Chains A and B, each alone.
Chain A
Amino acid sequence: MKKYYKRLKREAASIRLQATRKSEIKKHLAAFMEAHPVRVEAEPRQIVRENINYLGFLLDRMNMKIVYTALIVLLGGGGVAAAAEAAQPGDALYPVKVHVNEEVTSALKLSDASRAEWGVQRIERRLAESEKLQAEGKLDSAAQDQVDQLISAHVSSVRSLVNDLALAGDDAAVESIHEHLDGVEQDFDDTLTDLKLSTTTLDVRTEKAHAEESESVEPATKDEAEKGTLEQESAKTEPAEASETQEKAEVPETKEAEPTEVQGTSKREGNETGEATESHEAETPEGEAAGSLN
């Protein structure tokens, strides 16, 4: 049997492409390769992304910290990481900067508050990079897309952290994040416009905050509602106190007006909780208009 396989091999070796055909096909292939060049920078990006997803799937956050620390050590004391720090969108090391370095930093944050704060800083970093690119005239659509994607990823992670913080009742942290974000918004107003992002992109408010916000943003409707209740109230009280002086009559009215207002508000809230998102959406074009005006 062994003899057979030996022979089989020998015979098979005689079956091969004709040398001319082989080089002909090679020419076709080379032409095809020329027409479809490899995008060199695409390679590291994909590797890094795959690794991160893979790790993210398998490990929880605590383990991630260990893995990331090990990763830094493995990367030669952060030589690559340090080099990546200066990378800009479109650079080969840029994915290392945003998907490794910054993820590592994020994983090493101990509290949700500091993690959210770091998220805002990441948004700030993205905008600073874009500003620099724009100044150098290198902010092309590819870089823009890359930055847009990253910003929306950062925003959504900050949003979920802010949500957690709000649920945990850490209002001070929520407020400080909002303040920081407002500052970022103002600082990078022009860059946001360059990136064709509206200021609402950086909106990380929780649903509750949205609901509260939409109350104060629609003074016209609120006034109307108030007026309605006040009128009703005065209609009730007026007949009894008709003989009183105008001044006196006004005092209990305003006193009573306050609880009524609260009542009216809570009524509205009840109506609006379902529509909270809707009313915010309605508000969006205004925000955008304001953003572009600035």
Chain B
Amino acid sequence: MPPMEQINQSFLKAYDRYADAIFRYCYFRIGNKEDAEELMQEVFVKSWKFLADGGTIDTMQAFLYRVARNSLVDFVRNRKDVASLDMLQEGGFEPGQDHRKRLNNKLDSESALSALARLPIKDREILTMRYLDGLQPKEMAIIMGLSVNVVSVRIHRAKKHMLKIVQI
């Protein structure tokens, strides 16, 4: 059936396009590649199920992020210790080296990602979406179910936190 084929194709296209971003989004929240991969797969499976049951999706990107967010909440609930810094490092979350001595040099040498890893989850999520995935505050508001205003305030706060860490 052509219309069905069309839906299949566009969904697989969406996978090609957003799989990395969703993976990254999960990875920065839970800090473990295997879990992040699994979650990412779950996100697409869940979204497909929603479509197959007759649901309609307006904006694929926002929808996928929203599903990812909910899946992460479930995941974190089942594993409360997730995303503490220790946990992140144990799980291999060492995107860059973290030599404290050289942090005084601020930005010029160290990994920007290691600073991100030290942020609270909330800020990390905000900054990941805003700067790594390049989402607009408006899109983030849809995904997070918040108003654009609240999102902007949170971005501002997260940036301030980040600034503190980077400038220590």
Interface residues of A (CB under 8 A from B): 1, 3-5, 7-9, 11-12, 15-17, 21-22, 25-26, 28-30, 32-33, 36-40, 42-43, 45-47
Closest to B45 in A: A32
Complex contact A29–B95 (CB within 8 A):
no
Complex contact A7–B107 (CB within 8 A):
yes
Q: Does B71 contact A (CB under 8 A)?
A: no
Complex contact B116–A29 (CB within 8 A):
no
Q: State how many angstroms separate the Cβ of A18 from the closest Cβ of chain B.
A: 9
Complex contact B41–A12 (CB within 8 A):
no
Q: Does B161 contact A (CB under 8 A)?
A: no
Q: For window 105-136 of chain B, which residues contact chain A by CB distance below 8 Å?
A: 107, 111-113, 115-116, 127-128, 131-132, 134
Q: Does B63 contact A (CB under 8 A)?
A: no
Complex contact A9–B132 (CB within 8 A):
yes
Complex contact A11–B44 (CB within 8 A):
no
Q: Give bound CA distance, A30 to B14, whole Å.
A: 12
Q: Give bound CA distance, A30 to B132, whole Å.
A: 28
Q: Give bound CA distance, A155 to B21, whole Å.
A: 52
Closest to B55 in A: A46
Q: State how many angstroms separate the Cβ of B98 from the closest Cβ of chain A.
A: 13
Q: State how many angstroms separate the Cβ of B110 from the closest Cβ of chain A.
A: 10
Q: Does B8 contact A (CB under 8 A)?
A: yes
Q: Give bound CA distance, A4 to B49, whole Å.
A: 39
Complex contact B44–A29 (CB within 8 A):
yes
Q: Give bound CA distance, A22 to B111, whole Å.
A: 26
Complex contact A16–B23 (CB within 8 A):
yes
Residues on B with beta carbons closer than 8 Å to the beta carbon of A37: 4, 52
Q: Give bound CA distance, A15 to B96, whole Å.
A: 11
- Residue pairs across A and B with Cβ atoms less than 8 A apart, 12 shown, are A4-B115, A4-B162, A7-B112, A8-B116, A8-B132, A9-B134, A25-B44, A29-B41, A30-B12, A32-B45, A32-B48, A39-B52
Complex contact B54–A28 (CB within 8 A):
no
Complex contact A8–B113 (CB within 8 A):
yes
Complex contact A36–B52 (CB within 8 A):
yes
Q: Give bound CA distance, A45 to B115, whole Å.
A: 50
The 7 A-B pairs at the shortest CB distance, nearest first, are namely A42-B54, A8-B112, A12-B132, A7-B112, A36-B52, A16-B20, A11-B113
Residues on B with beta carbons closer than 8 Å to the beta carbon of A40: 1, 3-4, 7
Q: State how many angstroms separate the Cβ of A55 from the closest Cβ of chain B.
A: 17
Q: Give bound CA distance, A3 to B96, whole Å.
A: 17
Q: For window 39-73 of chain B, which residues contact chain A by CB distance below 8 Å?
A: 40-41, 44-45, 48-49, 51-56
Given A11-B112, A29-B41, A30-B12, 14 other A-B residues pairs in contact with their CB atoms under 8 A: A1-B159, A5-B131, A7-B107, A8-B116, A12-B131, A22-B19, A28-B41, A29-B12, A29-B44, A29-B48, A32-B45, A38-B4, A38-B54, A40-B7
Closest to A12 in B: B132
Q: State how many angstroms separate the Cβ of B64 from the closest Cβ of chain A.
A: 12
Residues on B with beta carbons closer than 8 Å to the beta carbon of A12: 24, 113, 128, 131-132
Q: State how many angstroms separate the Cβ of B123 from the closest Cβ of chain A.
A: 13
Q: Give bound CA distance, A135 to B1, whole Å.
A: 26
Q: Does B143 contact A (CB under 8 A)?
A: no
Residues on A with beta carbons closer than 8 Å to the beta carbon of B11: 33
Q: State how many angstroms separate the Cβ of A188 from the closest Cβ of chain B.
A: 31
Residues on A with beta carbons closer than 8 Å to the beta carbon of B45: 29, 32
Q: Does B35 contact A (CB under 8 A)?
A: no
Question: A9 with B131: in contact, given A3-B107, A4-B107, A32-B45 (CB under 8 Å)?
Answer: yes
Residues on A with beta carbons closer than 8 Å to the beta carbon of B48: 29, 32-33, 36
Question: A15 with B95: in contact, given A4-B166, A46-B54 (CB under 8 Å)?
Answer: yes
Q: Give bound CA distance, A71 to B19, whole Å.
A: 39
Residues on A with beta carbons closer than 8 Å to the beta carbon of B16: 26
Checking B3, B19, B112 against A25 with a beta-carbon cut-off of 8 angstroms, the contacting residue is: B19
Residues on A with beta carbons closer than 8 Å to the beta carbon of B23: 16-17
Q: Give bound CA distance, A27 to B11, whole Å.
A: 13
Q: State how many angstroms separate the Cβ of A123 from the closest Cβ of chain B.
A: 27
Complex contact A11–B96 (CB within 8 A):
yes
Complex contact B12–A43 (CB within 8 A):
no
